[in-house]
Structure 1
Amino acid sequence: MSGWRSSGAAALVGVCLAGLVVVAASVGAGSGDTASHGDGLALATGVPSGPAKGFPGAGGGPRRGAGVGPAATDGSDDDTEQSSRPNVVVVLTDDQTDYDLRWMPLTRAALGEDGMEFTDAISPHPLCCPARAEMITGQYAQNNGVQHNNGPHGGYEALDPTQTIGQWFQDAGYQTGFVGKYLNGYHAQAGRNPGWTLWDPLVQGIYDYFDFAFFNDGQGVATYDNYYVTNAVEERTNAAVRTFARDDRPFLLYSFHLAPHYRFDGHGNTEPPPVESSDRDAYADAVPPSLGKPSFNVATQGSLPDFLRGRTRRTVQEVRETFLARIRSLRAVDRSVESLVATLKETGEWDNTWLFFTSDNGYSMGEHRLVGKNVLTEESMQVPLLVHGPGVVPGSTSSLPVTLVDLPATFADLAGVTPLRAVDGSSLAPALAGQASPFRDTTLVQTGTSYGDGWAYRGVRTSRFTYAVRGAGDDVILYDRARDPYELVNRADDPAYAAIRTQLETRRQQLVACASWTCNPAFGQLPEPAAPAKP
């Protein structure tokens, strides 16, 4: 079997257990581009040309609705209704900008050209762990508890893992699965989170890309040595689809990739994401879009917010090398999306599946001298969001100001599932159906820290303005993106924007304490800046 670490003969024994394949191996000394797995959910590594022997659900046989296994139908109306409910599959990347989609042609073709693109989608808390917490709770950080990646108000320890989206769907009769990168700080000893039929997050070497391990559904950690993590997430996701497809019940499946996040080396230093050997020369002529922006290497005019102070200029070489590594690392994700679509079609699930593709946050590439995220700029907040599903008009777009917080509410709405938490987002189901419906005009945006009360900047974003305050209010940002799309001028102290600032502060005060439906008001139109505005 390709991918097993073995220089000698290996004895493999396959056992079918509850729809999964358990494989025990007697393994010799390892070498080469291979992977070794613990007992449990055994997944063949490498990219199989067809359903690989050893994948759960591999091979021919009945698909969902055909009456297999313990959930076989008896022809009752309940069984018919259950098998007709849609699947929901969510693919998440890590630190991908919205413009990175230009270098993902397979994903654009499968989901964009054949589905809907949301052109103003943002991560309202643009950092890994808070964003992922939003994705499984449907709540902002003031309600789910995760304000940062670490510290007393951050990481996995800040989350109550009960009654997350897996539990909602499982209680409604769905199979549920999670594969890939979970919340920062999660480890194998934390065990299975409630509500997940198949639980397979990364638990070791999470930022290594080559040497890592999965939880393996509780069947013993599955360890990979010198293997590319994107391929492993791809294969384990496809295996989950094949397993779920053999049951009459629909499924919710989260597939969370690491790319194009930077890599941590063995000493805790960061470096650009590694690339598969076949992709090392790809896109050699690509130019980082940030280099053409007026904000590249330029400090903000006006009162300088704290997060921009003391920033040194970035070199073009540094930015270009990082950019190329990022888009090259996304080529493997691009292929994995194509593979996932092929698996959904092969198993007969495609026509009844909602497939979402997005990222946990955006990423700055030298704008305002920043390389990174966790700041309230458009580069850090803007994320791709593509959706394919039943009835979506191919090639359609929506300009609604949507956020990651809206997605769990949307998944539940599409599946007819009742959330077990008071969700803070709004369902996008009407937009996906091409229907006009009321939507908020002001969105809560915020960042956190690993110290103090866990909060950094907290503010609001409208179709025109971004406004945020840090702490007691002596550090304020106000960007007019209509006049200043690259956010070069902070208007917080500009008298021409005084009335606007007052109204935005009123909205901010309401939203930083919001919960459930109170997070989605329509406040109405803001005034224009008083003339003349400072240049």
Structure 2
Amino acid sequence: MRFHVVRWWCMLCLLPVNMLVHAQSPKRYNVLVLFTDDQRFNTIRALGNQEIHTPNIDQLVKSGTTFTQAHIMGSLGGAVCAPSRAMLLTGRTVFQVHRDGGLIPATEKTFPEMFREQGYRTFATGKWHSDFASFNRSFANGDNIFMGGMHQEKTGGHLTPRLHHYDSSGKYNNAFTGNQFSSVYYADAAIRFLQEPQQQPFLMYVSFTAPHDPRTPPAEYLSRYDTSRISLPGNFLPRHPFDNGELTVRDEQLLPVPREPGSVKQEIAKYYAMISEVDHEIGRVLQALRESGQYDNTIIVFAGDNGLAVGQHGLLGKQNLYDHSMRVPLIFCGPGIPANRQTDAYCYLSDVFSTLCDITGIPQPATVSGQSLNKAFTQPAFKGRPRLFMSYANLQRAIVKDNMKLIIYNVDGAHPVQLFNLSKDPLEKHNLAPEKSYQKKVAALRAQLYADMHAYGDFCDPAKKSWGFPGRLKWEDALRIHP
């Protein structure tokens, strides 16, 4: 017995040191997050949209696993991207993020913050729609940082972005005005970072502000889109069929009502051109990653923060719960992630936090509510979440289960109901709610929706008249819901 123990010990000593280290700890993969602004789920050529040009995102689709049923949970107000980004960063739900995403307190860590604490070099460029302090806790460095929601048209929009260099004091009161398109600045900062020697694993967050309006794409990209060849959406309407509570929000005023088909096609062309422009800059970042020698050791996440109507259902914006506004692109690429795979498992953008922790072995804080998607990379039958819950202000609530979607409204005492069979009616054109044969389905989904409202800590109470909020939620009130 003693001889076997000595023999085993001698064999163990002969093993290469790197094999022993690998057996004791998970691989320290780099992480690159590529995030776009207002890009809906079906604006990628490789996923079926033959009118758009996205060669670099297409390559990510072919290289990785795409979640075709990734959603956001909604928001308390019109700036849907703020809570969406906060939910991605913290892994928390729409009613758990603070000031509708405007604040991430020190008690709730972001995933870059967790990786930084675990020895990763963290870097960011692009849009940050929360408080300055949480940015500096999350990232040890950065450049060409946009602190805000959108590039205002009155100050030149994307063509003259107001940006910041990294400020170790966290004050960010010395903005500079750029003279190139916003995406170029973000890609340039990312490329410079990748060209630096990497002595430790890194996490880089590249958060583009395109294709968010003002939609002013460079001419070289707009010239690729002939409006005469742009298809009008199959669910195009001149106006929304009823008051959803947000028909006069800023986004909906970008074109007059009733919507004119030619104007909508022009808007779609500009939207697609903006996406092609950001796709080009994503390609530059990916090329720099390859040239750095780190590509094969990097987990890449590509996602959008929310969708956009751009003429569908008579709407232009994202202040609604239809698929065009709530579904987002989500792609994972990298070591151990199957290539050219698509899964229709239900998931949220907020599940990215847990997934990255699972892949890299980074501990997940107790404040995270998301669920890891890591099993989707090893189990072809992975189902994800059993259902989805979505909300907007105090005006709209929705549930999706087994490809059936119920939306209930709360607008000035009126409660319109919509039911869609998403497998047969993906454009959400045929409302089944009034039909007698679907009343049991409406009742069952309504009961589940009300239960989920309670489970998620919804500030609206369906048992009360007008859910306890008879008018449109004021912004001051929204900020007090979870300060």
TM-score (norm. length: structure 1): 0.69
- 1:511 aligned residue (448, 452, 470): 452
Against the structure 1 CA distance between its residues 286 and 355, is the aligned structure 2 distance closer, same or farther, given a 3 Å change threshold? farther
Structure 2 equivalent of residue 465 of structure 1 = 404
Against the structure 1 CA distance between its residues 292 and 330, is the aligned structure 2 distance closer, same or farther, given a 3 Å change threshold? closer
Q: Is it true that 1:253 corresponds to 2:204 in the alignment?
A: yes
Deviates further, 476-485 or 170-179: 476-485
Give the Cα–Cα distance (whole angstroms) in 1 for the partners of residues 305 and 414 of structure 2: 29
The Cα shift of 1:179 comes to: 1.4
Amino acid at match of 1:467: L
Contact persistence 2:39–2:308 (CA under 8 A)? yes
Structure 1 equivalent of residue 415 of structure 2 = 475
- 2:32 aligned residue (76, 89, 100): 89
Structure 2 equivalent of residue 37 of structure 1 = none
The Cα shift of 1:82 comes to: 7.7
Structure 1 equivalent of residue 387 of structure 2 = 442
The Cα shift of 1:313 comes to: 2.1
Amino acid at match of 2:437: A
The Cα shift of 1:94 comes to: 0.8
Give the Cα–Cα distance (whole angstroms) in 1 for the partners of residues 81 and 336 of structure 2: 32
- 2:364 aligned residue (391, 412, 419): 419
Matches within 5 A, 1:124-203: 124-125=73-74, 127-145=80-98, 153-154=99-100, 156-157=102-103, 159-160=104-105, 162-183=108-129, 186=131, 192-200=135-143, 201-203=145-147
Write out per-residue CA displacement over residues 276-314 of structure 1, whole angstroms, 9 at most, x where no aligned residue.
24324122257444x1404433644xx864456999321
Structure 2 equivalent of residue 229 of structure 1 = 182
2:158 is paired with a residue whose SS is coil
Q: Calculate percent identity across the aligned residue pairs.
A: 23
Give the Cα–Cα distance (whole angstroms) in 2 for the partners of residues 204 and 118 of structure 1: 28
Against the structure 1 CA distance between its residues 340 and 513, is the aligned structure 2 distance closer, same or farther, given a 3 Å change threshold? farther
Against the structure 1 CA distance between its residues 182 and 437, is the aligned structure 2 distance closer, same or farther, given a 3 Å change threshold? same
2:439 is paired with a residue whose SS is helix
1:258 is paired with a residue whose SS is coil
Against the structure 1 CA distance between its residues 511 and 287, is the aligned structure 2 distance closer, same or farther, given a 3 Å change threshold? farther
Write out per-residue CA displacement over residues 200-237 of structure 1, whole angstroms, 9 at most, x where no aligned residue.
43137941212233332216746233221110011112
Amino acid at match of 1:276: P
Q: Is it true that 1:275 corresponds to 2:255 in the alignment?
A: no
Amino acid at match of 1:197: A
TM-score (norm. length: structure 2): 0.76
Write out per-residue CA displacement over residues 85-141 of structure 1, whole angstroms, 9 at most, x where no aligned residue.
111211111111222212243223420122222222222327211111111111111
Amino acid at match of 1:510: A
Contact persistence 1:164–1:421 (CA under 8 A)? no
Amino acid at match of 2:212: H
Structure 1 equivalent of residue 326 of structure 2 = 381
- Equivalent pairs counted in the alignment come to 412
Give the Cα–Cα distance (whole angstroms) in 2 for the partners of residues 344 and 80 of structure 1: 27
Amino acid at match of 2:399: V
Structure 2 equivalent of residue 269 of structure 1 = none
The Cα shift of 1:369 comes to: 0.9
Structure 1 equivalent of residue 481 of structure 2 = none
- Structure 1 vs Structure 2 CA RMSD: 3.1
Any stretches of 5+ residues in structure 1 without a counterpart?
1-73, 146-152, 264-272, 449-454, 517-535
Structure 2 equivalent of residue 62 of structure 1 = none
Contact persistence 1:422–1:515 (CA under 8 A)? no
Against the structure 1 CA distance between its residues 445 and 287, is the aligned structure 2 distance closer, same or farther, given a 3 Å change threshold? farther
Against the structure 1 CA distance between its residues 237 and 218, is the aligned structure 2 distance closer, same or farther, given a 3 Å change threshold? same
Contact persistence 2:164–2:175 (CA under 8 A)? yes
The Cα shift of 1:378 comes to: 1.2
Give the Cα–Cα distance (whole angstroms) in 2 for the partners of residues 96 and 79 of structure 1: 39
Amino acid at match of 2:447: T
1:279 is paired with a residue whose SS is helix
Structure 2 equivalent of residue 487 of structure 1 = 428
- 1:406 aligned residue (345, 348, 351): 351
The Cα shift of 1:172 comes to: 2.1
Give the Cα–Cα distance (whole angstroms) in 1 for the partners of residues 286 and 223 of structure 2: 26
Against the structure 1 CA distance between its residues 115 and 205, is the aligned structure 2 distance closer, same or farther, given a 3 Å change threshold? closer
Contact persistence 1:204–1:213 (CA under 8 A)? no
Any stretches of 5+ residues in structure 2 without a counterpart?
1-16, 46-51, 152-156, 458-483
Amino acid at match of 1:503: A
Amino acid at match of 1:354: I
Q: Is it true that 1:107 corresponds to 2:53 in the alignment?
A: no
Contact persistence 1:430–1:436 (CA under 8 A)? no
Q: Is it true that 1:321 corresponds to 2:266 in the alignment?
A: yes
- 2:275 aligned residue (330, 335, 340): 330
Q: Is it true that 1:392 corresponds to 2:344 in the alignment?
A: no
The Cα shift of 1:246 comes to: 1.7
Deviates further, 330-339 or 465-474: 465-474
Amino acid at match of 1:129: A
Amino acid at match of 2:118: A
Amino acid at match of 1:293: G
Against the structure 1 CA distance between its residues 464 and 204, is the aligned structure 2 distance closer, same or farther, given a 3 Å change threshold? closer
- Structure with the larger helix share: 2
2:303 is paired with a residue whose SS is strand
Against the structure 1 CA distance between its residues 293 and 192, is the aligned structure 2 distance closer, same or farther, given a 3 Å change threshold? closer
Structure 1 equivalent of residue 71 of structure 2 = 122
Give the Cα–Cα distance (whole angstroms) in 2 for the partners of residues 432 and 459 of structure 1: 29
The Cα shift of 1:353 comes to: 0.8
Give the Cα–Cα distance (whole angstroms) in 2 for the partners of residues 139 and 123 of structure 1: 11
Write out per-residue CA displacement over residues 43-74 of structure 1, whole angstroms, 9 at most, x where no aligned residue.
xxxxxxxxxxxxxxxxxxxxxxxxxxxxxxx9
Amino acid at match of 1:424: S
Contact persistence 1:211–1:226 (CA under 8 A)? yes
Give the Cα–Cα distance (whole angstroms) in 1 for the partners of residues 228 and 344 of structure 2: 27
Contact persistence 1:459–1:467 (CA under 8 A)? yes
Against the structure 1 CA distance between its residues 280 and 494, is the aligned structure 2 distance closer, same or farther, given a 3 Å change threshold? closer
Contact persistence 1:206–1:212 (CA under 8 A)? no
Contact persistence 1:123–1:361 (CA under 8 A)? yes
